[in-house]
Structure 1
Amino acid sequence: MSIRPWRDIARRPCRQIMVGSVPVGGDAPVTVQTMTNTPTDDVRATVDQIRRCEEAGADIVRVSCPDVASTTALKQIVRAARVPIVADIHFHYKRALEAADAGAACLRINPGNIGSSERVAEVVRAAKANGCAIRIGVNGGSLERHLLEKYGEPCPDALVESALDHIKLLQDHDFHEYKVAVKASDLFLAVAAYQQLAEQVDCPLHLGITEAGGFVGGTVKSAIGIGSLLWFGIGDTIRVSLSAEPEEEVRVGFEMLKALGIRNRGVRVVSCPSCARQGFDVIRTVQTLEERLQHIRTPMSLSVLGCVVNGPGEARETDIGITGGGNGRHMVYLSGVTDHHVQDEGMIDHIVRLVEAKAAEIEAKAEPEAVAAE
């Protein structure tokens, strides 16, 4: 049995495409995507939701375009968004043409599902004219009938064959700015399909475990599926599909990337599960801190440990740490060194101020280095 060396992640080589201003694939960072759930023709509600996703760190946001009202609204949405917008098209090729003209950075469409070769050619012409990428999205729940008849059920071979068929339709029209997903709600099926596809194509791969479930169950399922692929270097952009608000999908996506050391954004919290030794309410403290520190984008680490068993050791490895003590008096660590004590009262406010100050310090130090690099 071959065991993967710890912390050894070598990205799968692939060519790079552009989704608007965001590079996907090649040596670009793994991007995090989500999808709105508002009616797209409600411009205000959709833009408000996109804004929350942007604040959470979303690199790319997808919106549904099932009708003319949606593609008409898309022009305003694209103008208001700060991130590239992907138009989700399924069967009606005219929606793809309208979305491309409205400024979509990418079209989510399966070329084989929209009819004749001429329709595919029209979509390709519109994509080229407007600088759109295309995302081929194969799904285990909507495989073509002839593949189900051939294989008897959704399986990795069927998903991969579907993807290759759709790719060929684009390549036949000399279009190469595409990325591909082979999603399934069965994480074993999805992972096997992605592994198989990764060996046969050179395009970027969009990862996801579709219809993963609610916040807790879907997060676990997605982390196992997406995380195992990322660990083996497969994947250039991800979407965590949860029955939860889209900004939560973004936060979970970044937590996956942070856990794997692939990409850091915001505060990485190290905390204990709590026990009878805890000197303060660890669970509630961590919940409150995670909420109040969502605005921090600077990569940094914070340890919150309830007692002195593991607290000092964890604090030595983080930018800021707090360890529970007796009589409501707790030790604060800065850059791994014991620094001062804090009482229960005002402890959370104190930690928030420390984190904000540390983030400002890191950013101030980074600015001259960035200027020097230029």
Structure 2
Amino acid sequence: MSRMDTKKISIGGRTIGGGSPILIQSMCNTKTEDVKGTVAQIHRLEQAGCDIVRVAVPTMEAARSLREIKREIHIPLVADIHFDYRLAISAVENGADKIRINPGNIGSQDRVKAVVDKAKEYGIPIRVGVNSGSLEKQLLEKYGGVTAEGLVESALGKTALIEDMGYDNLVISIKSSDVLMCIKAHELIARRTSYPLHVGITEAGTVTAGNIKSSVGLGVILYQGIGDTIRVSLTGDPVEEIKTAKLVLKTLGLRTGGVEVVSCPTCGRTSIDLISLANQVETMAAEFDNLDIKVAVMGCVVNGPGEAKEADIGIAGGKGEGLLIKKGKVIRKVPEAELLNALRQELLSMGGSL
């Protein structure tokens, strides 16, 4: 759950802040002008458990495409805008549930106000996004480079600008690829604002590096009770972002539901292809999002049952056969080729639905 003292903000029928569940976001890497391709990717993200999706709006054609995309999807749609205030206005008019802007690159105050007035007219929130790569020159000079303090001052200055224009339906994000800087910035800003915070480590990297950096950063920030919605930024299939975000929240106890798969690291006693089996179990288990259980995949029948006793159900491999285990007790032997299907049937019998 998010902090109770943050402001509640509604995004296309979903709510963040004020103790609401922490929602997971992602961003399409399709061309928004390609409506069919974008919708197809959003459907995959929805199926994976994405709560809110963002798309880039670099052209007027992309802005106009939002209307058709909205008709085909089932989660809130956020428009990501840079530089051209007219794109933000068009995105709002074409049905965006939220817009993400950096007022510093939108232009004059008159242009920022035109965007704010349009958001106010349609009643949609604005995410004020500040990244370490877009920090203002005066703040770079003041702090001697990019710092957590500079990110916070920039974000609060921009929210104050929009507040002075008569609007406070706002979400703040302050992102950096520097994990420790990002953590410090969130610790600082959480003490100085009640607006909900969108948390993420920007430009985190490839799936491997990005998962590690995001998990560390998000884990530390969320564990302190900071953050209302999150995004794991990966250079890869955005569906992978959802998988990681769900596991981060589940590991911290901030979200229930879904099967957690634990598996041993393999050793010389292992006589089955445990790596392949564990990956197959993880893929299969993702289908049972309505279950809130732990599944163990163990490499040998010697230690497997004991090591898997904390799991609700598990399998342990042997030579040509394996064991099906419930709460550490062996319930039957199964031929190796049938282990995966036997586990699937047990999940179904435990109330799992596909």
Partners of 1:305 and 1:292 in 2: CA distance: 16
Q: Out of 259, 264, 274, which is 1:272 matched to?
A: 264
> 2:15 is matched by which residue type in structure 1?
P
* Displacement of 1:175: 1.4
Q: Out of 190, 195, 209, which is 1:217 matched to?
A: 209
Partners of 1:218 and 1:356 in 2: CA distance: 34
* Match status 1:127 vs 2:119: yes
Residue correspondence of structure 1 range 319-334 to structure 2 within 5 A: 319-325=312-318, 327-334=319-326
Alignment-derived partner of residue 89 in structure 1? 81
* Displacement of 1:314: 4.2
Change (3 A) 1:28 1:336: farther
Partners of 2:84 and 2:172 in 1: CA distance: 19
Alignment-derived partner of residue 63 in structure 2? 71
Change (3 A) 1:139 1:310: farther
Residue correspondence of structure 1 range 138-149 to structure 2 within 5 A: 138-149=130-141
Partners of 1:34 and 1:54 in 2: CA distance: 10
Partners of 1:166 and 1:84 in 2: CA distance: 24
Using the aligned pairs only, state the percent identity.
43
Alignment-derived partner of residue 311 in structure 1? 304
Say what the alpha-carbon RMSD is for the aligned residues. 1.8
Aligned length, in residue pairs = 353
Alignment-derived partner of residue 300 in structure 1? 293
* Displacement of 1:98: 0.6
* Displacement of 1:10: 8.5
Alignment-derived partner of residue 192 in structure 1? 184
Alignment-derived partner of residue 339 in structure 1? 331
Alignment-derived partner of residue 101 in structure 2? 109
> 2:312 is matched by which residue type in structure 1?
D
Partners of 1:323 and 1:358 in 2: CA distance: 19
Q: Out of 8, 13, 20, which is 1:16 matched to?
A: 8
Single out whichever of 115-124 and 148-157 deviates more from structure 2. 115-124
* Match status 1:235 vs 2:227: yes
> 1:316 is matched by which residue type in structure 2?
K
Partners of 2:98 and 2:68 in 1: CA distance: 16
Alignment-derived partner of residue 4 in structure 1? none
Partners of 2:338 and 2:3 in 1: CA distance: 44
Residue correspondence of structure 1 range 26-105 to structure 2 within 5 A: 26-105=18-97
Residue correspondence of structure 1 range 138-217 to structure 2 within 5 A: 138-217=130-209
TM-superposition CA deviations, 1:232-268 (whole Å, max 9, x none): 1111111111101111111111111111111134210
What SS does the aligned partner of 1:346 have?
helix
Cα pair 1:267 1:293 within 8 Å, conserved:
yes
Partners of 1:291 and 1:10 in 2: CA distance: 29
Change (3 A) 1:231 1:308: farther
Partners of 1:255 and 1:360 in 2: CA distance: 19
What SS does the aligned partner of 2:337 have?
coil
Change (3 A) 1:359 1:145: farther
* Displacement of 1:279: 4.2
* Displacement of 1:330: 2.2
* Displacement of 1:120: 2.4
What SS does the aligned partner of 1:188 have?
helix
Partners of 2:189 and 2:253 in 1: CA distance: 24
Cα pair 2:301 2:322 within 8 Å, conserved:
no
* Displacement of 1:73: 0.6
Partners of 1:279 and 1:269 in 2: CA distance: 20
* Displacement of 1:114: 1.8
Partners of 2:82 and 2:323 in 1: CA distance: 56
**TM-score with structure 1 setting the length:** 0.90
* Displacement of 1:209: 0.7
Single out whichever of 352-361 and 102-111 deviates more from structure 2. 352-361
**TM-score with structure 2 setting the length:** 0.95
Cα pair 1:124 1:173 within 8 Å, conserved:
yes
TM-superposition CA deviations, 1:305-360 (whole Å, max 9, x none): 112565324433222111234x4332212355432221112111221222233243
